């Protein structure tokens, strides 16, 4: 079985990092097909970059989805998530969606620690759209950049742990998500310094993908996530135009 891992930003190093972190989690017989966005911003840290990434994500699916058994939309904030769920015949899991649902089983209220201050309001909106707004304690945007982590991992860990402890105490969070592809694999090193569970968003998403693989739900033929009606288009990648024309 094959999982299409879509990194909808355009930085291949981030895709590679996730592939590295996820490899040990793959059961026998399950392979990853990692794909980086063909166009868009290097990193997604604004509404504009996220809007572009929604398009890039569905193009990636149109281009590479054939023969895959599930889609893992691997950008914390999940640009294009509902469009993919509508368009794909296979299960689609978003990294932020899966992380928040996982956090909701571990605590009454959870927080997100991530990088990029513009993500504060964007993630509040995203979590509210999941219906979990009332269970979100806070979004702390103090994470180091990938470059900073590489340069001085110990300081990065200390900084992240401090942010987790802060939101646990100040906001009453019973669990904290380390959100973002760039933080892949750090939760395990942060956990010893924090009193409440620390969740790695990359791994939480992967667990949800594997669970969905084990029980692929029927594609609905009615309702919100049924295939959309065929529609002509112009100016799109050939694969995307084809899928819109004959979903």
2 phi and psi angles, rounded to 5 deg: -130, 135
Question: Which of positions 44-73 make contact with a second copy (CB under 8 A)?
Answer: 45-52, 54-55, 57-58
Question: Which of positions 218-237 make contact with a second copy (CB under 8 A)?
Answer: 218, 220-226, 228-229, 231-236
The closest of 43, 41, 35 to 181, measured between CA atoms, is 43
Minimum distance of a second copy from residue 154's CB (angstroms):
21
Stretch that binds a second copy, among 14-22, 70-78, 83-91, 143-151 (CB under 8 A): 83-91
Choosing from 132, 157, 158, 166, the residue that interacts with a second copy (CB under 8 A) is 132
Stretch that binds a second copy, among 13-21, 69-77, 114-122, 150-158 (CB under 8 A): 114-122
Question: Which of positions 138-197 make contact with a second copy (CB under 8 A)?
Answer: 168-169, 172-175, 191, 195-197
Nearest CB to a second copy, comparing residues 68 and 73:
73
CA 156 to chain centre: 21
Question: Which of positions 11-40 make contact with a second copy (CB under 8 A)?
Answer: 25, 38-40
Residue tagged 């509404």 (tokens) = 47
Minimum distance of a second copy from residue 110's CB (angstroms):
10
Which strands sit side by side in the sheet containing 70-73, from one edge to the other?
31-36, 2-7, 70-73, 92-94
The closest of 3, 127, 145, 176 to 73, measured between CA atoms, is 3
Cα 31 to Cα 22, 97, 119, 125, 204, distances in angstroms: 10, 22, 31, 33, 17
Pull the structure tokens for residue 62. Answer: 């149109």
Is residue 211 near a second copy by the rule CB under 8 A? yes
């Amino acid at each position: 079985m094959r999982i299409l891992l879509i990194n909808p930003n355009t930085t291949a190093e981030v895709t590679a990092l996730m592939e590295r972190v996820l490899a040990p989690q793959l059961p026998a017989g399950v392979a990853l097909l990692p794909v980086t966005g063909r166009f868009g911003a290097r990193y997604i840290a604004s509404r504009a970059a996220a809007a572009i990434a929604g398009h890039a994500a569905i193009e990636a699916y149109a281009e590479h989805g054939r023969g895959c058994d599930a889609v893992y939309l691997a950008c914390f904030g999940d640009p294009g998530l509902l469009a993919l769920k509508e368009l794909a015949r296979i299960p689609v899991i978003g990294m932020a969606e899966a992380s928040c649902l996982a956090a909701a089983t571990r605590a009454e209220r959870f927080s997100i620690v991530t990088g990029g201050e513009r993500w504060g309001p964007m993630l509040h909106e995203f979590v509210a759209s999941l219906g979990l707004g009332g269970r979100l304690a806070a979004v702390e945007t103090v994470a180091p950049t990938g470059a900073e982590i590489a340069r001085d991992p110990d300081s990065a860990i200390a900084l992240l742990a401090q942010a987790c402890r802060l939101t646990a105490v100040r906001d009453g969070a019973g669990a904290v998500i380390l959100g973002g592809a760039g933080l892949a694999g750090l939760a395990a090193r942060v956990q010893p310094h924090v009193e409440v569970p620390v969740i790695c968003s990359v791994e939480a998403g992967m667990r949800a993908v594997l669970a969905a693989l084990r029980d692929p739900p029927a594609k609905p033929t009615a309702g919100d996530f049924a295939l959309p009606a065929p529609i002509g288009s112009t100016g799109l990648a050939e694969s995307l135009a084809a899928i819109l024309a004959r979903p």
